[in-house]
Structure 1
């Protein structure tokens, strides 16, 4: 190892099935490893992207037990007990890092301050909208919010946001005294286009396929999308909805579909390591989220030229520029239904928004984003 290379630590809870995790893999696989020596630390032993990450990147896992991580997280966030966290971090991470980055801001960001050898610079990446997602307001309020400000944000060198909406939401909750920057996510245009051709997703003749993609959590609004699709099918039985992703709401959402007796028309496809052929087959991409920071799946759908319909929330609003590059509706089932009815009923509207998606995607410049990341590390 060259002593001249800067040592950079990336820390994240796991490399599971979320958007931030996929973005980190995209970033690491394009990282200049001749200039930087990179370690990747996973808090828990879940890494579905293991085979995709460059072998030159050293990987460290803090804990193998998901249950233990939950217990330790509860003890730290509720009672500020961190002895096992601190001893494990310093046993597993012995390097002297120039820069340490928590790539998805959470209580795990605080692990950076437990290192015996404090990095020259500590950074966190915010992939969420703190103000518009109710769970964040639940956890980041009152005395706990003040403790987090002092124990985390006051100590960080930089807070990075993946969108202007995300930054604005953070300021509303925590204020703007911190050093803040906005850096869009790397989307990996070439990878999306290439992987979209790996296999073909078959469709029935004259079928209009609506695809949505995301972890099955309340914030994604899939229950509202299913209700909207049910109403849409009363108007147009050629429509089919596919939802790609997994999560704790799968059973509940499947029960909703079963109750509507629409199992052949609305399907939960589960997590797909390569979702891009499904996106490529879509006639419409829909994002029904309550809150986003920078919706990676929406950007990927635009790279593939898909006409998009999104709900009016942080992140989505920014990417479609308030409706310029895609149809934007309120986040109620009836409004989603009306938007989908308009788009599914008119081929010309779909063609128009397909071109607008391609126009918007031309602004996703991975090389410029990489330059901003390097500048952040080096300055």
Structure 2
């Protein structure tokens, strides 16, 4: 390992692919936060495109390029923990790291038997539902040792980590940072966005942005929109994003006979640029770790209509109930669609707490306090 004045940080991510770009953005900011400590290495276990341009230019990026068969096995928590070949590679690669930043509990469990004395592990946990069922007792014991720390991307995730048995001193909450200036600059004007998507200036556009997957429950949003649209001829629904449920949701739209009122764009590289096409933003997610899309909608100045889950309630606490409405049941969505059509929003919010700078400062302070200062103290005590 390097001396106490320079600390090498190794960042381990599972997936290098287009679909994981949001996670890559988070880790790129953590790399930037740690860059003053010393050398930064980024290690991708699978894939071969980790959005390298996001990272500071001095960052060393390594791809293990796990086989397609291996990548498929890694989608199972139990199988990733049995991959001895991968463990051997990781042991060699992380041996010189002082600080290791891991992407999720799978990586944390995988490296737990490989960690040496004096190394500190910071695991970033993105999902709300946390489980230790896939890990054995040896791994869990190691993961609960004092040099392992867990960072939830929201208070909701942090509370889930404590709920499964991690100690409070191990668990921290750091809100994911967003490039607020870039999002604002990349947004299309309302007129341009609506022209591209086929909407008119008189349409009342209820919009959403996200992956079309089961946990997002876009079928519920479509059904609630269909109920509302019966009483509002100007109502339109825009869902920006792609995913495995795309064709299924299109069939649902057809079955409800609202094809002329609904636009499903499919995957877009920068979906947030279409936010100005919307009058209101809505989501019905079953679970969220960090509510990225609703935060982007707040940056665009949109009101939010969301269902009752913890991550969304956090946003209501911050932005206030005038701007963020939490729906207790499905009928609330219809009434809120109507409410925001007829009521103006209060002045725009200060969104700096969701910016990159705030996130980098939080990670710098956390890692400096929990790893670097403790290491320096122990080295000093060893000298006297």
Change in CA separation of 1:175 and 1:88 when aligned onto 2, cut-off 3 Å: closer
Task: Tell me how far 1:106 sits from its aligned partner.
Answer: 3.2
The structure 2 residue matched to 1:70, chosen from 45, 69, 72, is 72
Task: Tell me how far 1:164 sits from its aligned partner.
Answer: 1.6
Name the residue aligned to 2:102: 102
Task: Tell me how far 1:36 sits from its aligned partner.
Answer: 3.5
Gaps of 5+ in 2: 370-384
- TM-score with structure 1 setting the length: 0.83
Q: Deviations over 1:298-345 (max 9, x none)?
A: 111111211111111111100121735411112x4433233223223x
What secondary structure sits across from 1:231 in the alignment?
Answer: helix
**Contact (CA 8 Å) 1:233, 1:239: kept in 2 or not?**
yes
**Contact (CA 8 Å) 1:159, 1:178: kept in 2 or not?**
no
- TM-score with structure 2 setting the length: 0.82
Point out the structure with max Rg over C-alpha. Answer: 2
Name the residue aligned to 2:163: 172
Name the residue aligned to 1:364: 354
The 1-side partners of 2:275 and 2:56 are apart by 26
Gaps of 5+ in 1: 131-135
**Contact (CA 8 Å) 1:217, 1:249: kept in 2 or not?**
yes
The structure 2 residue matched to 1:152, chosen from 143, 146, 155, is 143
Task: Tell me how far 1:154 sits from its aligned partner.
Answer: 4.0
Name the residue aligned to 2:41: 39
CA RMSD of aligned residues (A): 3.1
Task: Tell me how far 1:217 sits from its aligned partner.
Answer: 1.9
Change in CA separation of 1:343 and 1:29 when aligned onto 2, cut-off 3 Å: farther
Task: Tell me how far 1:102 sits from its aligned partner.
Answer: 1.2
What secondary structure sits across from 1:352 in the alignment?
Answer: coil
Change in CA separation of 1:171 and 1:155 when aligned onto 2, cut-off 3 Å: same
**Contact (CA 8 Å) 1:216, 1:249: kept in 2 or not?**
yes
- Count of paired positions: 359
**Contact (CA 8 Å) 2:212, 2:218: kept in 1 or not?**
yes
Name the residue aligned to 2:203: 207
Change in CA separation of 1:72 and 1:311 when aligned onto 2, cut-off 3 Å: closer
Q: Deviations over 1:61-93 (max 9, x none)?
A: 22343432222554x6159523122123246x2
Name the residue aligned to 1:328: 326
Mapped pair 1:240 → 2:236: yes
Task: Tell me how far 1:123 sits from its aligned partner.
Answer: 0.9
Q: Deviations over 1:87-146 (max 9, x none)?
A: 23246x26611211113x23123233354767621011122212xxxxx5xx645x8586
**Contact (CA 8 Å) 2:80, 2:106: kept in 1 or not?**
no
Name the residue aligned to 1:196: 187
Mapped pair 1:337 → 2:330: no
**Contact (CA 8 Å) 1:7, 1:38: kept in 2 or not?**
yes
The 1-side partners of 2:50 and 2:75 are apart by 22
* Counterpart mapping for 1:338-357 below 5 A: 338-344=335-341, 346=342, 349=343, 351-352=344-345, 355=347
